[in-house]
Structure 1
């Protein structure tokens, strides 16, 4: 049966400003919705919690112990028994501290394979709004399932995180592809920055509520683990609830080709993906920008994704410090994203992104010198991250939207999303290997310097006005 895409205007400049603003406001809300997964689960609770669950499993297996006493003595026990203290992951012996990095690496590797197909299918069918809903709710349900990860169920936690991260990444591909359809070239920086900023407010608000829950868990009759599991479940519930708004506001656009059946649509998406990859050779500057972003964003995502584990394992800071620091990041990042958006208007988007990469390099080097137990130093490092965090990614998204051809938005954004918010494969693998070899989070985080330096050089080489014209787009006033 034929399933034509619903008719809608494909050129945002042809629509009224009021119509664009309505869709833009709905589009912002999805950042508000999904940021709860990123802040509450990825950035704060899951890393340290899944490591503790893995430690509990290793304790029961190798030391015939259970409970908090074994986890507290885990470093001493493994130092005294170098061949013990590993968990079994389908035949591989993995250190508990490296387990979170491993599942993140697997999740992003699967994204590399799957997300380009998601983008191709979205462009081929034109059913972006429906696909956004399917992927968002698949991720949200998996996130809610983390409530059941306790005891020694580290493998269950790993699988649920992988599914949630895939749903998250797939939904962001479709979400990002709406940006050039709901904003003109000169609106792009503002819309992208405001969406990212609102996301920080949403993620920060839920994180504040979860911080209150975590700090008062004893008075509520909850264990620390129960409070963490409730917090992770709440992120999935938040994500599912607020996704309703963009599903009501966003509109599908006509697809360049019609899909007659689901099977033909999937087959067409594969063929279209192959054409897109071949067409990248016609846009060498777009490819260069994509590689540059892939490199420096790998560093950003790896630092963010491992920040809570770094604080607990390397700095020995308690969970309260970790949560309050990341909560501060959410609200400071709201202003940081807007600030970098304004700086882009004054100094140019590319120069602003390059300057932010320099700041990221300094932050990573600072991590080597933060003293164990020094909460104030960790807060200062988190504050510096907050200033550049949202702006770097929002402006990069805006730049990328300028250098892709019309009608290929979801396909090209799927390539961008491979290294976007859900943590990056190469960076995560680097951290996992460093931890496996050295068991040092300081060395693992410091290794991200090369990602920022190389990303800076590659981005500096991109001639953006030429890339925008080559893609057939209008060059905005500030680039």
Structure 2
């Protein structure tokens, strides 16, 4: 049995966030969406930008949303199979490595992204997303194995903090190439962005070696009976759902998590494109804003950890954060100036890391702490999130195509947050004595 609260193991675990969060910042939040919007635009603010992908015509930003939805759908379908194998054989680290290399190599391949290579580049973009989110299934499942219940908020926040710091460092390195290409004799304006994608892949791959070296391979849960690997994962999810239904608190939390996750990740994934298309902000200001958002997220995640552990309890803090998210979505519908965008980005930055970190640790606290099936439980958690994201990203793209405005899509996200809030309020009506650490 792995010794819990080992500082070296926890630090190594957090370094996986350091390694892969560069993808989350550069590819999903800043340089890639800005670059994608620029090269797929006709440079006329009064027209709708269309692209052709696999013979079908799409609004360029809607295609971006659909591509992400496909990536999340793939993860939702394959992670149960892989996590079942990992739980049975105790080799979750192998799957972390596999998804890491898929994602990082796909990022390297995006170096060749030009309008002429749009189709293969969108496919690489999807593969990078699958690599990132697929690795998190196994990364998250380590949390209850390496930390005791009283330390899980702190350890979860440590991971996000490492992630923000690591991603910001690489983002600053990328900025040197993006904003000062003449220092390196670069004359092709597309090379700085494409070089950034390549550096993300290398950064991710190199720093992931720290957790790969020091994390345990995973707690095995050997089963004597032979199983079909294509179905056992889904049977395991069904089994987990059967257990979840017996735990009213956990069930209501997952309902809430499902709905507010539709909004959280979608906002993070489309923020740059929203600023580019709806507010016509220059790329340099957009990237700087998203970077500021990441910096603000560090104290935000630490503040949420402190408030939940020391003051108000996880659920009360989550309710407060979701209320702020609802206000942020409503505000996004009405903003028209760059300074309004900056103010909104600062607010979202404060609550962005906190809600992710707190959701993960809250779920972890509810789990049977000595169970060998942590990967199955976290697979269920991740599938819940990915299915939510499929709905979130698809609805965002579809509503934009239907109405002609991303602002209407933002209002739909506000509705998802409201539903999540309602389930969090229902959650407070079930207060078992065993979850005093969750509810103050």
* Shorter-chain TM-score above 0.5: yes
Report the 3-state secondary structure (helix = DSSP H, G, I; strand = E; otherwise coil) of the residue aligned with 2:427. Answer: coil
Partner in structure 2 of residue 206 of structure 1: 170
Structure 1 residue 162 and structure 2 residue 148: aligned?
no
Partner in structure 2 of residue 62 of structure 1: none
Q: Which of 186, 189, 202 is 1:237 aligned to?
A: 202
* CA distance in structure 1 between the partners assigned to 2:438 and 2:333 by the alignment: 40
Q: Which of 118, 121, 135 is 2:99 aligned to?
A: 135
1:273-284 equivalences in 2 (<5 Å): 273-284=237-248
What is the number of equivalent residue pairs in this alignment? 436
CA drift at 1:478: 6.0
Structure 1 residue 394 and structure 2 residue 357: aligned?
yes
Mapped contact 1:301–1:420 kept (Cα < 8 A):
no
Partner in structure 2 of residue 115 of structure 1: 79
Could you tell which deviates more after superposition, 305-314 or 133-142?
Answer: 133-142
Structure 1 residue 375 and structure 2 residue 307: aligned?
no
* CA distance in structure 1 between the partners assigned to 2:429 and 2:160 by the alignment: 22
Mapped contact 1:293–1:455 kept (Cα < 8 A):
yes
Mapped contact 2:29–2:269 kept (Cα < 8 A):
yes
Structure 1 residue 354 and structure 2 residue 319: aligned?
yes
Q: Which of 365, 369, 373 is 1:408 aligned to?
A: 373
Mapped contact 2:332–2:407 kept (Cα < 8 A):
yes
* CA distance in structure 1 between the partners assigned to 2:407 and 2:298 by the alignment: 28
TM-score (norm 1): 0.85
Partner in structure 2 of residue 432 of structure 1: 397
CA drift at 1:423: 8.6
In structure 2, the CA distance between the partners of 1:464 and 1:148, relative to structure 1 (3 Å rule), is farther
* CA distance in structure 1 between the partners assigned to 2:362 and 2:286 by the alignment: 32
Mapped contact 1:143–1:164 kept (Cα < 8 A):
yes
Mapped contact 2:99–2:132 kept (Cα < 8 A):
yes
Q: Which of 108, 126, 129 is 2:90 aligned to?
A: 126
Report the 3-state secondary structure (helix = DSSP H, G, I; strand = E; otherwise coil) of the residue aligned with 1:223. Answer: coil
The superposition leaves residues 106-154 of structure 1 with CA deviations (integer Å, 9 ceiling, x where unpaired) of 1112222122223222212210122211111111111111111113222
Mapped contact 2:87–2:219 kept (Cα < 8 A):
no
Mapped contact 1:349–1:395 kept (Cα < 8 A):
yes
1:458-469 equivalences in 2 (<5 Å): 458-463=423-428, 469=434
In structure 2, stretches of 5+ residues that fail to align are: none
* CA distance in structure 2 between the partners assigned to 1:445 and 1:398 by the alignment: 27
CA drift at 1:156: 1.2
Could you tell which deviates more after superposition, 110-119 or 447-456?
Answer: 110-119
Mapped contact 1:124–1:259 kept (Cα < 8 A):
no
* CA distance in structure 2 between the partners assigned to 1:385 and 1:289 by the alignment: 22
Q: Which of 271, 294, 300 is 1:336 aligned to?
A: 300
The superposition leaves residues 21-61 of structure 1 with CA deviations (integer Å, 9 ceiling, x where unpaired) of 22111111001111000000001122232234444xxxxxx
In structure 2, the CA distance between the partners of 1:390 and 1:477, relative to structure 1 (3 Å rule), is closer
In structure 2, the CA distance between the partners of 1:422 and 1:377, relative to structure 1 (3 Å rule), is farther
Q: Which of 31, 55, 63 is 2:17 aligned to?
A: 31
In structure 1, stretches of 5+ residues that fail to align are: 1-8, 56-70, 79-84
* CA distance in structure 2 between the partners assigned to 1:16 and 1:226 by the alignment: 45
In structure 2, the CA distance between the partners of 1:309 and 1:279, relative to structure 1 (3 Å rule), is same
Q: Which of 425, 432, 437 is 1:476 aligned to?
A: 437
CA drift at 1:476: 3.1
> Which protein has the larger Cα radius of gyration, Structure 1 or Structure 2?
1
Mapped contact 1:135–1:168 kept (Cα < 8 A):
yes
* CA distance in structure 2 between the partners assigned to 1:120 and 1:332 by the alignment: 37
Partner in structure 1 of residue 253 of structure 2: 289
Partner in structure 2 of residue 446 of structure 1: 411
Mapped contact 1:403–1:468 kept (Cα < 8 A):
no
Structure 1 residue 95 and structure 2 residue 38: aligned?
no
CA drift at 1:219: 4.3
Report the 3-state secondary structure (helix = DSSP H, G, I; strand = E; otherwise coil) of the residue aligned with 2:280. Answer: coil
RMSD: 2.4
In structure 2, the CA distance between the partners of 1:270 and 1:319, relative to structure 1 (3 Å rule), is same
Partner in structure 1 of residue 27 of structure 2: 41
CA drift at 1:260: 9.9
* CA distance in structure 2 between the partners assigned to 1:458 and 1:295 by the alignment: 9
In structure 2, the CA distance between the partners of 1:303 and 1:204, relative to structure 1 (3 Å rule), is same
